[in-house]
Amino acid sequence: MRSLSVWVPLLLATAVAAEYLDRGQDRLYRDWRGLQYGCRCDPVGSVHSRCDIRTGQCVCQPHVTGLACDRCKAGYYGLRPGAGCRRCDCASPGSAPEVCDPETGRCLCRRGVGGARCTACLPGYFLLSSSGCRECGPCDLPGHLCDPDTGHCTCPPHTVGAACQLCEPGYWGHHPTAGCRVSAQCPSPVEAVSKQFA
């Protein structure tokens, strides 16, 4: 008689649990073997903590995927609470279309292309197109750089001389790759002196 008294409460508890499970009220689901598991819905990516009682699939925010709604769909990034994921803004010819880092949104650039949105050729490359940028030939003259539009070897902006080592008249602050700055950017003698003694 004692064994019957143990089985009756167990059967009742199982029936109640199955009823809750079927209604989706206790946040459990069954696998293919009939074993029960708790829903593991991501609190950021899912709409609520309940899941499908047969598959365990949670209800996801917009553009979110995964059984637990824990990652952005392809072409989206930046999983946010209550808002889902944002579309990748990678429409530049220099980027892979609508592919970006799922966390930062940084576009996946083609060969020789750089920038967060893949909009410019990297140093040493030129002629941005849908296949990336072309590699520049060697610039044999000292100080010369590859022009990112034409691919020709030229001096950096506002530099002159056989090795691009001098600033053009009216420019100052020679830099080997950035070139020279316009004189209007020079501090006036009064500003320079006042900064020295400040």
Q: Give dist(CA 110, CA 133) in Å, integer.
A: 8
Span 137-188, pLDDT tens digits: 887 777 778 888 888 888 888 988 888 889 999 999 988 888 899 876 555 5
Span 26-67, pLDDT tens digits: 466 666 677 667 889 999 999 998 998 888 899 999 999 999
Residue 120, both tokens: 């410019």
Domains of the chain: 30-87 (2.10.25.10), 91-138 (2.10.25.10)
Span 96-114, pLDDT tens digits: 887 889 899 999 999 999 9
Residue 80, both tokens: 């946010």
Contact 128, 135 (CB under 8 A): no
- CA distances to 55, 80, 116 from 107, rounded to whole Å, are 34, 19, 6
Supply the pTM of this predicted model: 0.54
Residue 126, both tokens: 């030129």
Closest by CA to 62, choosing from 86, 38, 43, is: 86
Lowest mean pLDDT among 68-72, 74-78, 122-126: 122-126
